[in-house]
Amino acid sequence: MIDAWCNGARRLLDAANVVGVAMGYLSGLNFLLISLFITADVLGRKFVGISSAVTDEMGGYALVFGSTMALSFALATGAHVRIDILLPKFPARMRSILNYVAFLAMTVFATMLAHYSWKLCIESWETDARAMSFLRTPVCWPQGIMAFGFTMLAVQAALMLASTLLESLRSRRLEEVRVLQMSDLSEGL
């Protein structure tokens, strides 16, 4: 029974990893494209006298997209900033327990962020809220992207925690939370 649960959790985590990696690469592409756009706009203003007039707005949307889309990728690869001053000084068992607590806290925190982001997005959709800008963009779109990013972070954290807990139950010892290595990414997961 536990083997089936472990295998199911591992398959779900593998699927979340694929989505998270794709979101991470889209985030990188997003930042590349917005940097090219900003560069072209600055050069256009300086040398030709032409401006898009939406650089600030597009930069803000790119920042929302890029940062929230990369959250689950960063978690899966262990790239989130951690303060590891005391952690290495603890025994292995205590480190594992503290890592489990950290993943539980991340799951709860990301779930709360996702919940309230979706709530804000739905409210903006219902009231047809728009940006006070040249483009008059419906704000539910960037809010929805942000909510999706937080949702994927919550899912990633929950699946990493659940998979590790199930592996610990199967092996009858505390397993370390595994993160993706760059070799995993180059091999296509």
Q: What is the pLDDT of residues 58-72, one digit of tens each?
A: 999 999 999 999 999
One-letter identity of residue 33: L
**What pLDDT does 179 receive?**
82
**What pLDDT does 105 receive?**
96
Mean pLDDT of 161-179: 88
Name the burial class of residue 103, with classes exposed (0-12), middle (13-18) and buried (19+) by CB atoms within 10 angstroms of its CB: buried
**What pLDDT does 155 receive?**
97
**What pLDDT does 73 receive?**
93
In whole numbers, what is the pLDDT of the chain averaged over residues?
A: 91
Checking if the pLDDT of 150 tops 60, the result is: yes
Checking if the pLDDT of 2 tops 90, the result is: no
How far, in Å, are 24, 64, 139, 142 from residue 129 at the CA level? 29, 17, 6, 12
Task: Kindly indicate the confidence band of residue 85, based on its pLDDT and cuts at 50, 70 and 90.
Answer: confident
* Euclidean distance between CA atoms 137 and 140, whole angstroms: 9
* Euclidean distance between CA atoms 150 and 168, whole angstroms: 27
One-letter identity of residue 20: G
Instruction: Enumerate residues 6+ apart whose C-beta is below 8 A from 18.
Output: 189
Of 81-90, 131-140, 168-177, where does mean pLDDT reach its minimum? Answer: 81-90
Task: Kindly indicate the confidence band of residue 146, based on its pLDDT and cuts at 50, 70 and 90.
Answer: very high
Instruction: Enumerate residues 6+ apart whose C-beta is below 8 A from 165.
Output: 100
**What pLDDT does 57 receive?**
92
**What pLDDT does 87 receive?**
81
Exposure on the CB side of residue 85, measured as CA atoms within 13 A: 1
One-letter identity of residue 16: A
Residues forming beta bridges with residue 130, ordered by sequence position? 138
pLDDT in tens, 100-130: 999 999 999 999 999 999 999 999 999 999 9
Give SS3 for 74: helix
The predicted model scores a pTM of: 0.90
Task: Kindly indicate the confidence band of residue 162, based on its pLDDT and cuts at 50, 70 and 90.
Answer: very high
Task: Kindly indicate the confidence band of residue 48, based on its pLDDT and cuts at 50, 70 and 90.
Answer: very high
**What pLDDT does 79 receive?**
84
